[in-house]
Structures are given as C-alpha cells and as structure tokens.
C-alpha cells in the first residue's frame, strides 16, 4: 500500500517538475511574432519598394519592444500568397499578424482564423476607429464584427485620354459629370478616322455594367442579405446604359491595343495603376503616346460620382499567443502616421488613415514624381471618392453570382437581347443557384 | 466476489474496448495530420479550405495530445484496477479524471468520434453497485453520448469534420476510409454491448448465488437452534444424573446408615441403654460425615472466586481488580481477625460488598470508596462509604433491593444514607454456634 502511494506521489511530482520546466523555458526565450505578407503590390502593378515599408515598420517596432522579434517569409508572390496562408493554417502555424487577400477574407473569417478585433479596439484608449476611412474600415468587417484593419486603400478612377479629347475639341469633364455627358462624348469621339469603313476611335474600354450600377445608386447586396435582385430598376438602367454605349460602337469590339494606341477616350483604372504609370520610372512603359489623367466616374440622376474601393487588409490570427503584441504591431502598420505616410512614399495606394491621406505632406509625395505641369488629382477629391466608395461584398457566393451576371450581360450585348426580359430570366437562374448553395 | 469482478472475459473485453479506442483516436488524429500533409504537398490548401467548415488547429500537436490523454486513461485504469481495486476514493477520483480526459479527447477530435465515452462508461458500470445511482449514470451516459454528436453540435458550433478530410481523396479511397472509420465505430459499440451483457450476466449469477447461500444459511441456523436445545437438555440431564448420584452416594448412604442405626437403637434401647448411647454416638458421627459430604458436594456446585479462596482474599482480589480497571480508589479495611463464615454468609457478604462498590461507581460516580468490616458481639458490620454525588431520595432498583433481600435471608438488616456521598450499613448476625468447624 505504501509503495503504491510512493509511486503515485512520484508520478505527480514528475509531472509538476516537467510543467515548471516547460513554463520556465517558454518565458526565457524572446518573443517571435510571425508576420505574413506577400511581395509586390496588391494592385497588380509593378512595385520596387514593397519590402522597404515593412522593414522600416519592423525595425521601428523591434526598437520599441526590445524582447520581440518579427519574422516574415520574403518572396511570396501575391498569386502564391493565398495558398501559402492556407498551408500555414492547415499546418497550425497561422501567422500572428498577416495580410489578407480579398478573396480569402470571407473564408478566413468564417473558419475563425481571424481574430475578432472589436474587444481590442474598444479597450484601447489610444485607438479611434473614426480616424480610418469608413469605407476602408468596412472592408475589414464581416457579420457586424471587425476582423481586419485596412492598411492602404485604392479607389477606382476613370482614365481620360486628354490628347484625344483635345483633338476632338472636347473639354475635360468636370468632377460631377453625368451619364449623359459621357454618352455624348462617346458619341462624338466614336468615328472612322482613316475612312476604311471600320470604326477606329472609341468612347470606352472595359467600362462595365457594375461601374454603371455603382454610380446610379444601385446596390445588389444590401445589408448582406442572401437575396440578389437583378430586376431592380437601377440594375436594369445600368445594363441599358452599357448597352447604349455599346451600341455606339456598332457591334465592333474595343481592344487593349486600341486603348494603348490612344484611340479610346475612357477606361476605368485603379488609383494604384494611375500612380504607377503616371510617375517615373514606369511612366515610360505605358501610355506614352498621349496625355492622360484620371477623374471620377460619371453619375446617373439618382447616384453619385462613386466607384469601387479596395483595401489591403491586415488581421491578427485568432490563435496568436501574443495578442497584445500582435495588436501593437497591427497598430504600428495601420494606425501610425509615419507608417501610413510610407504608403504614399513607397506604395501605390492611399493611406487608410484619413488625416494622413489628406495631409499636405502626402500631396507633396504624390506630386514629387509627376511631370512638370501635370496636375495630380486633388486630395480632397481623392478622399471624397474613397469616403463614398462602394465596397464589394467578399462572399465567394457573391463573386460567383457576379461572374454569372457578367456573362449574362455580355451575352445581352453581343446578341442584342431585350434587357428587361433577359434579366428577368436571369433572376430566376440566380435564385435557383442561391437556393442550392444554402 | 472481488476476484469474480475481474474475471477473464470481462477483463479481455475491457482491454479490447481500450485497444479499439486507442486505435480509433490515434487513427483519426494521424489520418487528419497525414491528409493535411498530403494537401500541403499537393499545393491544394486554398482549394481545400473552401470545402471545410472549420480548421484543425494544431494537427501535429493534436496527435501527441491525444496520445498523452490516452496514456493517461490507460494509466488511470491500471491504477484503479490493479493497484487500488478496493479504495473507493481512488476509484471515484480516477473515474472522474477519466471522464474529463475522455471529454478532452472528444473536444480535441471535434466530436468526430465519441466512442471513447463508451470506454469510460464500461469502467463506470463495473464499479457502480447502487441501483439508483446506476440509473442516474445511465441517463448521464446516454445524454452525453447523444449530445456529443457531431451532426448535432456542428449546427451551432464551428467544428471540423473527418468527412471533409476523407473527401479529399479519390472516390475509391474515400469508400475505403469511410468503411474503416465506420467499422471501428461499430466494433466499439458491439464490444461495449457484449461487455454490458457479460456484466449483467455476471451480476445476475452473483445474485442467484447469494440467494442460494442465504437459504442454506437459514437451514443451518434452524438446525443449530435444534442442536442448542438438545445440548441444553442433555446438560440438564447430566446435571440431574450427577445430583442423583451425589444424593444417592452421600445423602442416601448416610441416611440409610442413620435409619439402620436408629432401628438398631430402637431394638436395643430397652435391653442396653449403654449400647444404645454408643450406637447413637456412632449415628451422630455418621450424620456429621454425611453433612461434610453434602457440603463437599454443594461446594462443587459453587461458582466464583469464593470457592477457591477465603472471603478476605476474594474481597481483596475484587478491590485490586476494581482499582486496576476503574478510576475509583477503593480502600478495604478489615478488622475481623478470622473471616470464616458459613458459605451462604460468605456469599451474601461478598455480593453486598460487590454491589455496594458497583453502585458507588455507577450511580454515585464516586472517586473514593471505603469498605470497612468489623465484628460487634455476634454481628458483623459492613460499611461501604463513598464520596460520590449521593442520592437525596432513595429509590429502589439501584441494586439496593438485592442487597436487602440477601441480608434479610440471613436475618440481618441494611440501611442506606444518601445525604453525603452514599453509605451502606449492613448488620449480619453470624451463626457462630451453628458453625461446623
């Protein structure tokens, strides 16, 4: 009996000793924060400085937190990043802080991989979420909870071929121009210049029914409802407007070559592309044959001059062992003026912090690399576009439905179908599809 | 009984359930890890994420955690069954620990496998005897088994499903894995049922056995009662025979002699009175011898220390005994030089002293008791005095009744005084003249 008791006590003692040793060992090592990031731009433009921003942020953070090291894998391309993240997740080695691609955000939040930041945000007195662009902040929300903070924002702008308009004697459109204005300009520029019987000068390229929808006050997915209405009058208006623009081209399709050759007046363009190709060194690579600039999208009567806004999100892994540090680092990246200014300095987007985006220093940064005499888009306009921008839901389901809709619209344009009846039929298809997905 | 509980078949079944569960749990955790590795090698991770509802957080650590918990379960089983099979505290603690470990495993496996619960229940069933708690336990068991179901819980919680991981493989492999998975689950249930049936059989057997033994015990008891009656009768008969023999040998012999002597006296008294006188003297001697014989016989029937020792020695011995065994001090003061009385007198004195002391201790809670004995003319005076609580009002039944009766039989008197402590004064007239010595 006594011997057994000794064995039992011995086992318990051993267990305690092991636990103590484990805890001691754990505490004495420096904290390593894993940071998941990809190399290059989120906006599919060339970027030479992608490491620079984060290296600076990391150096700064490590200086302020002596026992902390930040580790990241370099050289993961954006195309591979989603797979890299997924592999890390499956392996159980989710990074403490990591960038989230739009396509991953919904899946990751529903898997519970991303930490719900609401508590961290409300308990941190030095943090005010009003400092962010509301739209930018909303891109990191899902189901009413904030799961990620925006790092940089990129609105979509309308590229205007200034040389072409000048040649045709048309004034540069104002910031609050309308659908009618654009339709009229398209009508005027669309012509056969070399008299070969084929049109070789066009109004728009890549301008889609979605862009039109955003500017006529339409919203397919209101409040994340599981219903999508394609028979709404504004959706129909948008499709009809696209059809009208398409009809001007007399069935001829516009290509990238036409655009590159300076024969197209308008094209939607992200702010990132605008910055990249408007400034040295990439300025010499594209669009060199003509003068160009960017303005807002034309609006319909009911809508505003708005467009799609994207944001690069950074979140915290839900299983992080260093929650406070991860939050500090996340704030370092997204919430400090210095780091956000680096977005202007080295990246192609707009800082997610409103104050930094509209600061004079920021404007100077943008102006720096411009050609002389070129006027950069004004920061007030930029902020206005971002603040009123449209965020596309990141649900996989939504993207699938939109792809279906894109196909349907292009079919309507090609086969010259009736918009109202085609969309009615399409609505039934979508409803059936959504029903199956549930 | 105890050995019966761990009989071979039940033990084998228990071990089999343990083995099946170890294989299942380790199989699932290793399968998940292996599948994840395969997915990672195939660079299908992102695609795979779209198919699942929840993530397995630390697949590699999970294997070790499961192994650790299973090791703990096995260890606890060994400690319970082999080292402390009769210590109810250890059994209860280890069973609760088992339950916790088992739930930890179930949660680790996200309710994909709840068969491990059966292992714990199989252990619990073995130890629970009480009928009521057994029903409660059965309810808990069934309840937790139903609640710990993946399909039910995955509605409201984010749980990973083993099916999703199986679905990663090609169709033929999927079938193979699914059937292995289901076979193990079924095998576990089958073993559990077999185990339960065995336990029930075993316990039914035990109950029958107890019933049989009970009946036998009853029979034997009755027989024993008969025997004891018979033995009593036999002792009585033996004693009667002895008495008859004694009477025949002593009294009969003496009386016969006396009657013969007296007859002779009657015959010769008129012829020779001298002869008759001689004869009568002879008869007197015979009679005295007879009385001696009777006394000897009676003394053989007497109990107690008295028949072995003198009265003084017997009382002294009693006092020493009481002093040795109780807190009370008894002082015996004997002022009579030769304590030699008739047996009935000795008996009475001894009993009176004994009862007096007993009363003083029991009722008076006395710490000190003085016993004095002295001669006054032809009477012997006995005083038993104590320093106890005394007794304001005399009540019969404090053992005084017996004392009174005993002394009255010897024509003596006894008085009691309970005002200060308790004093018993007894006066017994001694039949000096009647002594035969």
Q: What does the pLDDT read at residue B304?
A: 54
| pLDDT band of A223, cuts 50, 70, 90 | low
Please say which residue of A371, A387, A403 terminates a domain.
A387
What does each C-alpha distance from B315 to B205, B251, B319 come to in angstroms? 61, 33, 6
Distance CA A103, CA B359 (A): 102
- Whether A294 is in a domain gets the answer yes
Distance CA B94, CA B97 (A): 5
- Map chain A to HEC letters: CHHHHHHHHHHHHHHHHHHHHHHHHHHHCCEEEEEECCECCCCCCCCCCHHHHHHHHHHHHHHHCCCEEEEECCCCEHHHHHHHHHHHHHHCCCCCEEEECHHHHHHHHHHCCECCCHHHHHHCCCCCHHHECHHHHHHCEECCEECEEEEEEEEEEEEEEHHHHHHCCCCCCCCCCEHHHHHHHHHHHCECCCCCCCCCEEEECCCCHHHHHHCCCCCCCHHHCCCCCCCCHHHHHHHHHHHHHHHHCCCCCCCHHHHHCCCEEEEEEEHHHHHHHHCCCHHHCCCCCCCEEEECCCECCCCCCCCEEEEEEEEEECCCCCHHHHHHHHHHHHCCHHHHHHHHHHCCCEECEHHHHCCHHHHHHHHHCCCCCCCCCCHHHHHHHHHCCECCCCCHHHHHHHHHHHHHHHHHHHHCCCHHHHHHHHHHHHHHHHHHHC
Distance CA B316, CA B314 (A): 5
- Whether A15 is in a domain gets the answer no
* Mean per-residue pLDDT, A288-313: 84
| pLDDT band of B224, cuts 50, 70, 90 | very high
Residue A212 has pLDDT above 90, yes or no: no
Q: What does the pLDDT read at residue A402?
A: 86
Residue A2 has pLDDT above 70, yes or no: no
| pLDDT band of A370, cuts 50, 70, 90 | low
Q: What does the pLDDT read at residue A51?
A: 77
CATH placement of domain B305-434: 3.30.565.10
DSSP assignments along B314-378, one per residue: HHHHHHHHHHHHSS-EEEEEE--S-----HHHHHHHHHHHHHHHHHHHHTT--SEEEEEEEEETT
Q: Are residues A129 and A172 in the same domain?
A: no
Residue B6 has pLDDT above 60, yes or no: no
Pick the most confident of B32-46, B119-133, B299-313, B323-337: B32-46
Q: How many CB atoms lie within 10 A of CB B111?
A: 20
Instruction: Quote the domain boundaries for residue A401.
Output: 156-307+392-437
Q: Which residue has the tokens 């009255």?
A: B408
| pLDDT band of A116, cuts 50, 70, 90 | very high
Q: What does the pLDDT read at residue A301?
A: 81
Q: Are residues A171 and A263 in the same domain?
A: yes
Q: Domain boundaries in chain B?
A: 2-168, 305-434
Residue B33 has pLDDT above 80, yes or no: yes
Chain A residues within 8 A (CB-CB) of chain B? 4, 7-8, 82-83, 85-87, 89-92, 104, 107, 110-113, 319, 396
**Measured at the alpha carbon of residue A393, what is the angle toward residues A390 and A399, in degrees to the nearest 5?**
120
- Whether A372 is in a domain gets the answer yes
DSSP B83: I
SS3 state at B78:
helix
Judge residue B54's burial from the number of C-beta atoms within 10 Å of its C-beta, 0-12 exposed, 13-18 middle, 19 or more buried.
Answer: middle
Point out the residue among B53, B55, B79 whose CB comes nearest to the CB of A89.
B55
ipTM over 0.85: no
How far away is chain B from the Cα of A147, in angstroms, using its nearest Cα?
17
* Residues whose CB falls within 8 Å of the CB of residue A28, separated by 6 or more in sequence, listed in order: none
CB pair distance less than 8 Å for A112 and B54: yes
Point out the residue among A8, A83, A110 whose CB comes nearest to the CB of B45.
A83
Q: What does the pLDDT read at residue A146?
A: 92
* Mean per-residue pLDDT, B54-73: 90
Q: Are residues A171 and A296 in the same domain?
A: yes
Residue A172 has pLDDT above 90, yes or no: no
How far away is chain A from the Cα of B34, in angstroms, using its nearest Cα?
11
Of B435 and B343, the structure prediction assigns the larger pLDDT to B343
Q: What does the pLDDT read at residue A285?
A: 63
Tokens read off for A358: 């509209």
* Mean per-residue pLDDT, B195-208: 84
* Mean per-residue pLDDT, A360-370: 77
Q: Are residues A373 and A399 in the same domain?
A: no
Point out the residue among B52, B60, B84 whose CB comes nearest to the CB of A92.
B60
Q: What does the pLDDT read at residue B253?
A: 72
Q: What does the pLDDT read at residue A360?
A: 84
Each residue's pLDDT tens digit, B153-164: 877 788 888 888
Q: Are residues A72 and A177 in the same domain?
A: no
- Whether A22 is in a domain gets the answer no
Tokens read off for B45: 């991770």
Of A7 and B15, the structure prediction assigns the larger pLDDT to B15
Pick the most confident of A158-172, A222-236, A265-279, B389-403: A158-172
Residue B292 has phi, psi (to 5 degrees) of -55, -45
Contact yes or no for A335/A136 (Cβ under 8 A): no
| pLDDT band of B30, cuts 50, 70, 90 | very high
Which of A86, A114, A320 best probes binding to B when mutated, by most B CB atoms within 10 angstroms? A86
Residue B22 has pLDDT above 90, yes or no: yes
Give the strand pairing for B368-376 and B329-334.
Answer: parallel
Q: What does the pLDDT read at residue A280?
A: 62
CB pair distance less than 8 Å for B55 and A111: yes
Q: What does the pLDDT read at residue B2?
A: 44
Average pLDDT of chain A, as a whole number: 84
In the Cβ-directed half-sphere of B289, how many Cα atoms lie within 13 Å?
Answer: 14
SS3 state at B416:
strand
Residue A149 has pLDDT above 90, yes or no: yes
Contact yes or no for A313/A117 (Cβ under 8 A): no
Residue A27 has pLDDT above 70, yes or no: no
Contact with chain A for residue B84, Cβ under 8 A? yes
Q: Which of A104-113, A245-254, A316-325, B298-307 has the lowest mean pLDDT?
A: B298-307
Residues of A in contact with B39 (CB under 8 A): 90
Q: What percent of chain A has pLDDT over 70?
A: 91
Pick the most confident of A415-419, B219-223, B338-342, B391-395: B219-223
Q: What does the pLDDT read at residue B3?
A: 47
| pLDDT band of A438, cuts 50, 70, 90 | low
Contact with chain A for residue B85, Cβ under 8 A? no
- Whether A69 is in a domain gets the answer yes
| pLDDT band of B396, cuts 50, 70, 90 | low
| pLDDT band of B436, cuts 50, 70, 90 | very low
Q: What does the pLDDT read at residue A150?
A: 92
Q: Are residues A109 and A146 in the same domain?
A: yes
Q: Which helix (H) or strand (E) holds B129?
A: none
Contact yes or no for A307/A390 (Cβ under 8 A): yes
Each residue's pLDDT tens digit, A342-353: 888 888 888 888
Q: What does the pLDDT read at residue B65?
A: 92
CB pair distance less than 8 Å for A90 and B79: no
Q: Cis omega before residue A281 (within 30°)?
A: yes
| pLDDT band of B1, cuts 50, 70, 90 | very low
Residue A240 has pLDDT above 80, yes or no: yes
Contact with chain A for residue B71, Cβ under 8 A? no
- Whether A373 is in a domain gets the answer yes
Residues of B in contact with A396 (CB under 8 A): 50
Residues of B in contact with A87 (CB under 8 A): 40, 43, 45
Contact yes or no for A391/A135 (Cβ under 8 A): yes
Q: Are residues A400 and A315 in the same domain?
A: no
Of B61 and B255, the structure prediction assigns the larger pLDDT to B61
Number of domains composing chain A: 2
Pick the most confident of A40-49, A269-278, B93-102: B93-102
Q: What does the pLDDT read at residue B300?
A: 64
Each residue's pLDDT tens digit, A257-267: 888 888 888 99
Q: Are residues A371 and A429 in the same domain?
A: no
Residue A279 has phi, psi (to 5 degrees) of -120, 160
How far away is chain B from the Cα of A191, in angstroms, using its nearest Cα?
47
Distance CA A120, CA A118 (A): 6
Going through B131-259 in order, the beta strands assigned E by DSSP cover none
* Mean per-residue pLDDT, A363-373: 71
> Residue A199's domain is classified under what CATH number?
3.40.190.10
Q: In 3D, which of B292, B215, B301 has the Cα closest to residue B254?
A: B292
A vs B, Cβ pairs < 8 A, gives: 54
Single pTM value for the model: 0.67
How far away is chain B from the Cα of A89, in angstroms, using its nearest Cα?
7
Residue A142 has pLDDT above 70, yes or no: yes
Taking the C-alpha atoms of A147, A149, A150 and A151 in order, what is their torsion angle to the nearest 10 degrees?
-130
Distance CA B419, CA A110 (A): 96
| pLDDT band of B236, cuts 50, 70, 90 | confident
Residue B132 has pLDDT above 90, yes or no: no
Point out the residue among B46, B55, B83 whose CB comes nearest to the CB of A83.
B46
Average pLDDT of chain B, as a whole number: 82
């Amino acid at each position: 009996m006594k011997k057994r008791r000794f064995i039992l006590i011995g086992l318990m003692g051993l267990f305690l000793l092991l636990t103590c040793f484990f805890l001691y060992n754990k505490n004495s090592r420096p904290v390593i924060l894993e940071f998941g990031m990809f190399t290059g731009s989120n906006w599919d433009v060339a970027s030479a400085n992608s490491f620079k921003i984060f290296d600076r942020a990391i150096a700064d953070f490590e200086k302020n937190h002596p026992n902390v090291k930040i580790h990241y894998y370099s050289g993961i391309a954006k195309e591979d990043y989603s797979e890299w993240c997924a592999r890390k997740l499956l392996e159980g080695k989710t990074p403490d802080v990591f960038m989230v691609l739009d396509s991953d955000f919904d899946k990751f939040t529903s898997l519970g991989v991303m930490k719900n930041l609401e508590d961290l945000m409300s308990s941190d007195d030095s943090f005010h979420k009003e400092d962010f662009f509301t739209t930018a902040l909303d891109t990191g929300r899902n189901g009413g909870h904030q799961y990620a903070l925006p790092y940089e924002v990129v609105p979509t702008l309308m590229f205007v071929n200034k040389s072409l308009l000048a040649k045709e004697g048309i004034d540069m459109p104002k910031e609050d121009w309308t659908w009618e204005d654009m339709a009229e300009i398209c009508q005027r520029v669309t012509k056969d210049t070399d008299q070969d019987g084929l049109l070789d000068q066009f109004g728009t390229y890549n301008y889609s029914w979605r862009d039109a929808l955003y500017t006529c006050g339409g919203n397919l997915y209101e409040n994340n409802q599981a219903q999508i209405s394609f028979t709404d009058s504004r959706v129909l208006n948008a499709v009809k407007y696209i059809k009208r623009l398409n009809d001007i081209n007399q069935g001829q399709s516009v290509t990238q070559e036409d655009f590159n050759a300076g024969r197209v007046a308008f094209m939607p363009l992200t702010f990132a592309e605008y910055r990249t190709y408007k400034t040295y060194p990439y300025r010499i690579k594209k669009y060199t044959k003509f003068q160009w600039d960017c303005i807002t999208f034309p609006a319909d009567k009911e809508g505003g001059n708005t467009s799609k806004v994207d944001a690069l999100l950074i979140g915290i892994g839900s299983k992080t062992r260093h929650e406070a540090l991860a939050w500090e680092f996340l704030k370092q990246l997204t919430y400090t003026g210095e780091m956000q200014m680096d977005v202007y300095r080295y990246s192609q987007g707009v800082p997610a912090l409103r104050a930094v985006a509209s600061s004079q220093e920021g404007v100077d940064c943008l102006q720096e690399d411009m050609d002389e005499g070129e006027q950069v888009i004004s920061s007030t306009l930029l902020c206005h576009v971002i603040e009123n921008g449209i965020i596309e839901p990141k649900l996989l389901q939504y993207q699938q439905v939109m792809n279906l809709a894109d196909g349907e619209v292009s079919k309507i344009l090609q086969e010259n179908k009736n918009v109202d009846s085609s969309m009615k039929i399409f609505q039934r298809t979508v409803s059936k599809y959504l029903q199956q997905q549930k | 009984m105890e050995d019966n509980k761990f009989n071979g078949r039940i033990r084998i079944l228990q071990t089999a359930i343990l083995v099946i569960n170890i294989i299942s749990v380790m199989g699932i955790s290793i399968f998940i890890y292996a599948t994840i590795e395969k997915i990672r090698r195939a660079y299908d991770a992102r695609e795979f994420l779209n198919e699942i509802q929840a993530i397995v957080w630390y697949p590699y650590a999970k294997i070790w955690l499961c192994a650790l918990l299973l090791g703990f379960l096995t260890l606890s089983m060994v400690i319970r069954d082999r080292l402390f099979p009769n210590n109810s505290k250890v059994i209860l603690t280890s069973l609760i620990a088992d339950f916790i470990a088992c739930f930890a495993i179930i949660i680790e496996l996200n309710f994909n496998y709840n068969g491990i619960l059966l292992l714990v229940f199989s252990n619990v069933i073995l130890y629970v005897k009480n009928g009521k708690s057994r029903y409660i336990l059965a309810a808990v068991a069934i309840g937790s088994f139903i609640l710990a179901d993946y399909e039910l819980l995955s509605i409201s919680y984010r749980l990973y499903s083993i099916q999703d991981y199986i679905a990663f493989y090609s169709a033929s492999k999927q079938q193979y894995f699914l059937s292995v998975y289901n076979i193990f689950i079924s095998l576990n249930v089958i073993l559990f049922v077999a185990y339960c049936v065995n336990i029930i059989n075993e316990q039914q057997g035990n109950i029958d056995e107890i019933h049989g033994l009970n009946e036998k015990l009853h029979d034997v008891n009755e027989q024993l009662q008969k025997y004891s009656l018979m033995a009593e009768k036999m002792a009585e008969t033996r004693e009667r025979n002895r008495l008859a023999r004694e009477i025949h040998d002593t009294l009969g012999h003496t009386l016969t002699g006396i009657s013969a002597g007296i007859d002779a006296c009657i015959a010769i008294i008129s012829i020779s009175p001298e002869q008759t006188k001689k004869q009568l003297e002879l008869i007197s001697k015979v009679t005295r011898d007879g009385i001696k014989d009777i006394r000897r016989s009676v003394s053989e029937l007497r109990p107690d220390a008295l028949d072995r020792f003198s009265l003084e020695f017997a009382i002294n011995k009693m006092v020493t005994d009481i002093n040795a065994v109780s807190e009370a001090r008894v002082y015996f003061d004997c002022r009579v030089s030769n304590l030699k009385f008739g047996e009935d007198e000795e008996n009475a004195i001894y009993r009176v002293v004994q009862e007096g002391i007993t009363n003083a201790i029991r009722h008076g809670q006395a710490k000190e008791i003085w016993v004095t004995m002295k001669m006054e003319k032809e009477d012997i005076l006995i005083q038993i005095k104590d320093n106890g609580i005394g007794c304001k009002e005399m009540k019969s039944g404090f053992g005084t009744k017996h004392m009174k009766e005993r002394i009255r039989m010897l024509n003596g008197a006894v008085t009691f005084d309970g005002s200060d402590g308790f004093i018993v004064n007894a006066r017994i007239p001694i039949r000096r003249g009647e002594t035969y010595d």
